[in-house]
Amino acid sequence: MKAAWYTKTGKACDVLKLGQLENPELSAGDVLVELKASGINPSDVKTRAGARGDLQFSRVIPHSDGSGEIVDVGKGVDKSRIGERVWLWNAAFGRANGTCAEFISIPESQAVKINSNVSYDSAACMGIPASTAYYGVLANGSVENKTVLISGGAGAVGFYGIQLAKLSGANVITTVSSDEKATVADDAGADKIINYKNENVVEEVMKYTNNIGVDRIVEVEFGGNLPTNKEIIKHNGVIAAYGSMAEMEPSLPFYNLMFKGVKIDTFLIYSIEETFRKKISNGLSEFLNRDSLKHMITKKFSIDDIVCAHEEMESGSVIGNIVIEI
């Protein structure tokens, strides 16, 4: 099969290789998927660059997200699954073989059925961006009639987060850093957009909410935004955080948060508890199958251009998702 891989960490142009590998062996409990699209995420390029430490395997086929069609099943898997169109999650987490190849053998629970109306490109964005958004918005119960702040509403996660919150009945505030990104957030359906570069987030949120604050914050930058968030979160509110790159060891204003009864839910989408993972898979597929979600696929590359795709993701200039078409 055609595949991209690396055997050491480093720059994309130095370590990524493209060629032919043997088709994967089909293990019991697995499905064999003929891949159609592979989604690239920041974590994929960080792992390849060495930011996540030494390689766990002698050879790595990158990317955790993808989509395709089940063409065979292993022992113990219902043969009726053959022919299903699916999206994949955690394909490269703790595994040597991800989705940047023509085929993958993966546990059947990690291959989620989609209808024929769903494009493979959009399905390849469900594993990390949309799943992170789903957990961030809905992990602690219903947000109907609540006010939710989505930090970074033009990002890959934020764009889905705004939509999922709106589809779940929430009033949505979001933050952006430019007029261009404000347009993206508006397209996602945000009710209130705040440009934190030239507006005071605390003042704007409190004015918009009549000094009540927000029920929930889905946070991409926990440490850097903590001084703001401690002021705008309501009593018994929740901060669901999935990143903190600017301030990786933040100082916590414990008593301020304790007296407000604020719950802090830090999470890594790769290691979500199994029961809620099923809710994510089922929920996202339902939204997909109903055509309820917009997608922001800004760049598409052929697998032959894997190096360019990784370099584009690392540049930080892309607003939206990058997909490799297999």
Ordered by start, the domain boundaries in the chain are 2-125+295-325, 130-270
Identify the architecture of domain 130-270 in CATH.
3-Layer(aba) Sandwich (3.40)
Nearest Cα residue to 10 out of 45, 38, 43: 45
Place of tokens 């699954």: 81
Quote the pLDDT of residue 36: 98
DSSP-derived pairing of the beta strands 2-5 and 17-20: antiparallel
Quote the pLDDT of residue 316: 87
Is this prediction's pTM over 0.85? yes
307 contacts: CB under 8 Å, gap ≥ 6? 12, 13, 16
| 192 dihedral zone (left: phi>0; alpha: psi -120 to 50; beta) | beta
Q: Which residues of the chain are modeled with pLDDT < 70? A: none
Domains 2-125+295-325 and 130-270 share a fold: no
Quote the pLDDT of residue 221: 97
Asked if CATH classification 1.10.1740.10 holds for the domain at 2-125+295-325, the reply, yes or no, is no
Q: What does the CA dihedral 113, 118, 120, 126 come to, rounded to 10 degrees?
A: -70
12 and 110 in contact (C-beta within 8 Å)? no
